[in-house]
Amino acid sequence: MTPLIGLTCGTNYEKETARYFLNSTYVDVIYKAGGIPVILPPIDNCFLTQFLNRIDGLILTGGADVNPLFYDEEPHLKLGTVDPLRDNFEVALAQEALNSGIPIIGICRGMQLLNVVAGGKLHQDIPSLNISNAINHRQKAPAWSFSHKVVIEEGTRLEKIIGQKEIFVNSFHHQAVKTIAPGFIVSARSGDGIIEAIEKDDSCFIIGVQWHPEGLSNEDSRMFAIFESFCQACKD
């Protein structure tokens, strides 16, 4: 049975009528990896249970900053755009998805939101941390190009999927995981110590990555393997 994969999406309020949007690379990679992609718009939360009863896996996609009120912090001066409609929907969706045990991938914002929902906190602006050996986490090159290296922790699910300890990734974020949520472990870091991947410390397929593997999946088979493994887990 081909798994049905739910994909969250962003909201654009610049027009008279709000628009939902999602980069096509998410849809393309799920289709190629053997899943049926379905976009989940941030509508009334009364549909959450029905969404989750129909999908076999969930991808929390990239996008705007997560509102720091969800992890009990005031907004930093460098906080970027927040999407309240999306935040309210995805926080509730992710909570129910974690409770249900379905496979989940959190990508960029999605990893941060996954961590927040499970009880962790975020750095609201990496440059403001004044890290001595800081690297650029917000590349200006296209999403299919590599930016910096990450080191993957030995014995993690991510290492088993990737097959090696060091890889190069793309990078489009200014926020990062600060306090990891209970029940999760760090599975990768960048050279300046920023957390680049997390995963649930049990048998569930629940992974968060700070980079955008969907944008690199045509360039690097190891990135595509993340989605293949995910879709396989959604069949099991």
* Span 92-104, average pLDDT: 96
Taking 80 as the threshold, does the pLDDT of residue 85 lie above it?
Answer: yes
Instruction: List the chain domain ranges.
Output: 4-235
Average pLDDT, integer, range 147-171: 97
pLDDT of residue 13: 79
45 burial via Cβ count (<10 Å: 0-12, 13-18, 19+)? middle
Residue 236 has pLDDT above 90, yes or no: no
**Per-residue pLDDT tens for 104-113?**
999 999 999 9
- Asked whether residue 46 carries a pLDDT value surpassing 80, the answer given is no
The model's pLDDT over 100-142, given as tens digits with 9 standing for 90+, comes to 999 999 999 999 999 999 999 999 999 999 999 999 999 999 9
Cα dihedral 86, 92, 93, 97, rounded to 10, equals 150
Angle at 62 between CA 160 and CA 235, to 5 degrees: 45
177, β-bridge pairs: 122
pLDDT at position 1, please?
86
Q: Return the CA Rg of the chain.
A: 16
pLDDT of residue 44: 73
pLDDT of 174 higher than 80:
yes
Pick from 65-69, 84-88, 115-119, 207-211: least confident: 84-88
User: Exposed, middle or buried, 59 (CB in 10 Å: 0-12/13-18/19+)?
Assistant: buried
CA distance to 1, 171, 197, per residue, from 62 (Å): 28, 11, 14
Q: Which residues are catalytic?
A: 108, 212, 214
Question: Which of the four pLDDT bands, split at 50, 70 and 90, describes residue 192?
Answer: very high
Statement: residue 38 has pLDDT above 80: yes
Question: Does the structure show a pLDDT above 80 at 148?
Answer: yes
CA 83 → CA 42, 55, 69, 179, 233, distances in Å? 10, 24, 12, 22, 30
Average pLDDT of span 140-157: 96
- Please state the CATH superfamily assignment of the domain spanning residues 4-235 in this structure: Class I glutamine amidotransferase (GATase) domain (3.40.50.880)
What's the chain's average pLDDT? 95
Give the model's pLDDT for residue 146.
96
Q: What pTM does this model have?
A: 0.96
Residue 196: what pLDDT?
A: 98
Secondary structure element (H or E) that encloses residue 190, with its range: strand 184-190
